[in-house]
Structure 1
Amino acid sequence: MDANELLKKIRKIEIKTKGLSQNIFAGEYHSAFKGRGMTFSEVREYQYGDDIRDIDWNVTARHNRPYVKVYEEEREMTVMLLVDVSGSRNFGAMGEQKRLMIAEIAATLAFSAIQNNDKIGMIFFSDHVEKFIPPKKGRRHILFLIRELLDFTPEHTGTDISLALRYMTDALKKRCTTFLISDFIDSGDYYRALSIANNKHDVTAIQVYDRRDAQLPDVGLMRVQDLETGALRWVNTSSGRVRKAFNKWWYERQQVMTDRFNRCGVDYASIATDEDYVKSLMGLFKKRGVR
């Protein structure tokens, strides 16, 4: 897109997502993610109502009465956005394209982070790590991230979630809050990398998908292209057997994805491009905030 069109889109996303982060997500973001990073402050005598899991058994043994560890909330977190820029993000049969919704969700999270005095960074990935943007603060940095989200052109089209997670785990030594944003169309097994990443960091997954990812329309013979491999083929969408097989493939893939998230203890949201992502994110934040 040309420079004027890009600037207009950046401004439009800034106005919308900054407003959301200030007026809707501010408190929910803080309760959901602040406090996940806690640092040790001191020990004091046990008081009624204290969590027994916080008892310092060494100090308790020395004084013959219970003492608990006291933690304080880290005032500053590092937030990383792992953004899928593979070929399938350009598909959008219903609602807006995945890439535009991904950009809005990422921008909303970025403005929420900066309001809470957090640093924000980003990793673009396909089946390669396409770009690493180190965490920083400030409105100028956020606008740079939005511009990259809208205008970045990857060199590769495939998807390797495991690679992106391993790169993030190796690159960031300090514990951070990580949002993995993808359609999760990945034939590889990223369970081990996700488990390791979530043990070191705090990973939340956000799936952005199109309805046509899940169900073929009944429109007769249709030529389709795999946006990640470039392969072309003809599909008879009038065949109920073909449509049923496609839907079964989608359902089974979704089951594998959610099973990986659950086994790794990763919170997640699944959002269609014709849905209101605000409602889904609010639900995700509230679920984390009450735990």
Structure 2
Amino acid sequence: MDQTQPAADGFVYASLAQLMALEHRVRGLSFLARQPLASILAGNHASRLRGRGLNFDELRHYMPGDDLRHLDWRASLRYGKPFVRTFTEERDRPTLLLVDQRMSMYFGSRRSFKSVTSAELASLSAWIAFHAGDRVGGLVFGDQRVEHIRPLRSRTRIEALCAAVIRANHSLNAAGVDSEHQDQLDQVLRSCIAAAGHDHLVCIISDFAGVTAKTLQLLRQLNAHNDVIAMLVYDPMALKLPEKGRITVTQGALQVEMEVGSRQVHQPLGDFLSGRLKDVAELLRRSQVPLMMISTGEDALAQLRRELGRLSGIPR
């Protein structure tokens, strides 16, 4: 065993085998929506995924049972016989996964770190898209580096994507510090806009640390011509701090250990964490990007299944 590599326990660090094995757990899951998807925190926001488009196939004589809406009136009048247009559904569409492995993701108070939950969501999303017949690729980003994986429909490409996630995941450590480039998420969104063009499915898997007004503009730009889903990964501590104990709060190179049982610490810190989560959800609501809230304290697949059930209108 390479002692320089972190132990992949599945909770602090993920393993490639762990991500690849998730293929067999996504049966029956789909990103295609029949009903609007309501954001958990936004409440009044609803959006519908476009799904695949239709390509014109051929013009042929009308046959009993054909959909009258597909009658081609111009051709029918010209030839004196009814003609219909037939269409085929697009065979696939590219899926891009934006997978956050920055230092802000290297934290977890229950079950797993945000970085590991993000890795699991990336794998689950990749396998769902793959089994729908879509090409899969993505952008895996840390504080300093972004790795691009061009979309292809193959298990080898998904393995390459998961391997990129694992490399970024294993580069995280307690001695690391947040990047000085606070606009890293915005830079990744710009890269995605350039790569996606239109008619892609884009899944952004992140804690959305460092969002700005520019982030809102970029999300709207990306969402204008693509289907975009935001998977906001959060730690349960953001909703409810423990009543006692010590936690370490980091900001760049600064690390401060706090006693959360202190009244002077508990209320302000709790307000800050929950307030930040609401602010991010509000930004996503304004961008009209469907939002999934994924907690590190629960199984990622179970939560994704619930959220996709919300998207399709079918309880899962």
TM-score normalised to the size of structure 1?
Answer: 0.78
The Cα of 1:73 is off from its aligned counterpart by: 3.0
* Letter aligned with residue 270 of structure 1: M
User: Is 1:115 equivalent to 2:131 in the alignment?
Assistant: yes
Q: For residues 242 and 70 of structure 1, do their structure 2 counterparts lie closer, same or farther at Cα, with a shift above 3 Å needed?
A: farther
* Greater displacement, 235-244 / 199-208: 235-244
Q: What amino acid sits opposite 2:242 in the alignment?
A: P
**Structure 1 residue 267: Cα displacement:** 1.1
- Cα deviation for residue 110 of structure 1 reads 0.8
Shift in alpha-carbon separation, 1:139–1:289, aligned structure 2, 3 A? same
Contact 2:124-2:301 at 8 Å conserved across structures: no
Partner residue, 2:205: 181
Amino acid at match of 1:231: L
Q: Match of 1:164?
A: 188
Give the equivalent residue in structure 1 for 2:51.
36
Residue 253 of structure 2 corresponds to residue 230 of structure 1: yes
8 Å contact from structure 1 (residues 182, 208) kept in 2: yes
1:213 to partner: Cα distance? 3.8
Shift of 1:270: 0.8
2:85 & 2:281 partners in 1: Cα distance? 35
Per-residue deviation, residues 103-144 of structure 1 (Å, max 9, x unmatched) = 111111111111122111111234566221111221111112
The C-alpha deviation readout for 1:50-81, integer Å capped at 9, x for no partner, is: 9x9x9x9xx8xx99xxxx99865321110000
- The aligned amino acid for 1:188 is T
Question: What letter is aligned with 2:132?
Answer: N
1:157 partner letter: D
Q: How far apart in 2 are the matches of 1:223 and 1:109? A: 32
Distance 1:174 1:195, change over 3 A: closer
Cα gap change, 1:255/1:4 in structure 2, threshold over 3 Å: closer, same or farther? Answer: closer
**Partner residue of 2:227?**
202
Tell me if structure 1 keeps the 8 A contact 2:137–2:158: no
**Structure 2 counterpart of 1:124:** 140
Pick closer, same or farther for the CA change 1:244–1:72 going to 2, 3 Å: farther
Worse-matched range after superposition: 31-40 or 91-100: 31-40
Query: Equivalent residues in 2 for 1:64-143 (5 A)?
Result: 72-126=88-142, 130-143=146-159
**Helix, strand or coil for the counterpart of 1:29?**
coil
CA-CA distance at 1:223 after TM superposition: 6.5
Unaligned runs of 5+ in 2: 9-13, 35-47, 79-83
Q: How many residues were matched structurally?
A: 274
Q: Is the counterpart of residue 20 in structure 1 residue 28 in structure 2? A: no
Q: 1:243 aligns with which of 258, 266, 271?
A: 266
Hey, what's the Cα distance between the residues in 1 that align with 2:6 and 2:267? 45
Distance 1:71 1:186 in 2: 44
**In structure 1, C-alpha distance between the alignment counterparts of 2:53 and 2:144, rounded to whole Å:** 33
CA RMSD of aligned residues (A): 3.8
Q: Pick one of 138, 145, 162 that aligns with 2:161.
A: 145
